[in-house]
């Protein structure tokens, strides 16, 4: 795989270190501009301001596309999924991580861990922030992923317990191998 694209990368290359195959170039996009990050392991690392629904890349330009926790935030997630498929080469891969919003285990972990920590740090509006920012829920996103990639190979992995319930997991990870005719 020559080129990897991470959409919605934010301000760091925190996911780049987990990519376990070789590549020549790692491109990060986000809708905001961030200060440059350091080069990771000598790989060309490029940051581009781009909307996940309208990427400025030609068709079939990436061997791998990665999106972590992004679909929950998008106003219209389906056009983004179609766009990611467009820029991924035939036989290329897309990795999508989706938190199990509004799953029981995720809500419990927020209530017991994240919310108290946010309050200790002086952020009182954590629940309201999540309500506004996490506008899409896993069951709907799961259906969109299965629809958009219906002609591709899809595997669904669940963490941490790997049981089929989205209520009893924290994340679903989709690995998609693109099959273009």
In whole angstroms, what is the distance from residue 152 CA to residue 143 CA? 14
Q: Are 53 and 35 within 8 A, CB to CB?
A: no
Cβ neighbours of residue 41 under 8 Å, at least 6 residues apart?
none
Query: In 3D, which of 22, 116, 11 has the Cα closest to residue 63?
Result: 22
> What is the tens place of the pLDDT at every residue in 37-65?
655 555 567 788 899 999 999 999 999 99
Neighbours of 80 (CB within 10 A): 24
Quick check: 14 pLDDT over 70?
A: no
Give the pTM: 0.90
């Amino acid at each position: 795989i020559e080129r990897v694209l991470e959409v919605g990368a934010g301000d760091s290359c925190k996911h780049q270190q987990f990519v376990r195959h070789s590549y020549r170039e790692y491109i990060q996009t986000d809708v905001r501009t961030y200060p440059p990050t350091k080069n990771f392991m000598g790989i060309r690392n490029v940051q581009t301001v781009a909307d996940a629904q309208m990427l400025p890349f030609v068709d079939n330009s990436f061997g791998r596309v990665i999106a972590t926790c992004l679909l929950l935030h998008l106003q219209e997630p389906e056009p983004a999924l179609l766009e990611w498929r467009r820029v991924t080469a035939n036989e290329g891969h897309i990795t999508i991580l989706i938190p199990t919003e509004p799953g029981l285990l995720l809500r419990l972990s927020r209530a017991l861990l994240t919310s108290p920590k946010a309050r200790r740090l002086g952020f009182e509006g954590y629940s309201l922030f999540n309500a506004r920012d996490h506008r899409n829920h896993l069951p709907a996103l799961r259906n969109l992923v299965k629809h958009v990639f219906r002609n591709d190979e899809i595997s669904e992995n669940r963490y941490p317990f790997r049981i089929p319930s989205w209520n009893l997991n924290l994340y679903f990870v989709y690995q998609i191998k693109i099959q273009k005719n």
